[in-house]
Amino acid sequence: MAAEAKPATVSPAKSAETHPAAAATPASVPLTRREFLNYAWLASLGFVLVVGFGGATYFFSFPRFKAGEFGGVFALGKAGDVLPKPDDPPIHNQEGKFWLTNVNGAIIALYDVCVHLGCLYDWQTVSGRFECPCHGSKYTKDGTYIEGPAPRSLDRMVIQFVAGNQPVATTDAKGDALAIPSDTSVELVVNTGKIIEGAPHG
């Protein structure tokens, strides 16, 4: 009687030699509790950073102040309708905290806070100048320092004349008075968020 053929047995070492790909596959090692907690902590930190950075970017991508509130832009209307004439007294805009003043046909927007200690000064028709009730600082119609404890002339805001959403004239970096365009149908815009310090005296 013929002997039954037995299947050949291959030892694990022999098998690995025969199939290199199998030998290269690493055995999976379970994470320790410490490793798991480290990965979880890193993932949480990454999430917080992404959300925080994204939130800050979103927040700062919008203007901080709305149009028509102090710190934002005030669109006042057609220059011919809203500007004081050269001999008119300055016009106070309480919401925007500025005085519009016409000096020889050019316009300035003066921040209405005294540069000494922050009181609200006022226009005095009799003397034809701005006077602060707190400590007596006085300024000319264009905000230039005359006398008193104030360290400088009044601060100014940036103004623009705008036609069809395009600026046609803008206050320069020194805050010089802005000449009124011949076409007074342009719109006057005051940017109360852009304040230019007055010049020091003495």
Contact between 201 and ligand FES per CB under 6 A: no
Interface pattern 77-116 for ligand FES (x via CB under 6 A):
-------------------------------------x-x
Q: How far is the CB of 124 from ligand FES (least distance, A)?
A: 14
SS (H, E, C) 65-112: CCCCCCCCEEEEEEHHHHCCCCCCCCEEECCCCEEEEEECCEEEEEEC
Positions of E strands within the chain: 73-78, 91-93, 98-103, 106-111, 122-124, 129-131, 138-139, 145-147, 156-163, 166-170, 178-179, 187-196
Looking up tokens 């055995």 gives 27
Q: How far is the CB of 148 from ligand FES (least distance, A)?
A: 5
Judged by CB under 6 A, the residue of 119, 163, 179, 199 near ligand FES is 119
47 Cβ contact partners less than 8 Å away, ≥ 6 residues apart: none
Contact between 46 and ligand FES per CB under 6 A: no
Contact between 146 and ligand FES per CB under 6 A: no
Confirm if 113 and 120 have CB atoms less than 8 A apart.
Answer: yes
Contact between 150 and ligand FES per CB under 6 A: yes
105 Cβ contact partners less than 8 Å away, ≥ 6 residues apart: 86, 179, 180
Contact between 151 and ligand FES per CB under 6 A: no
Judged by CB under 6 A, the residue of 101, 137, 160, 191 near ligand FES is 137
Contact between 163 and ligand FES per CB under 6 A: no
User: CB-wise, 18 or 124, nearer to ligand FES?
Assistant: 124
Contact between 134 and ligand FES per CB under 6 A: yes
Return residues touching ligand FES (CB under 6 A).
Answer: 114, 116-119, 132, 134-137, 148-150
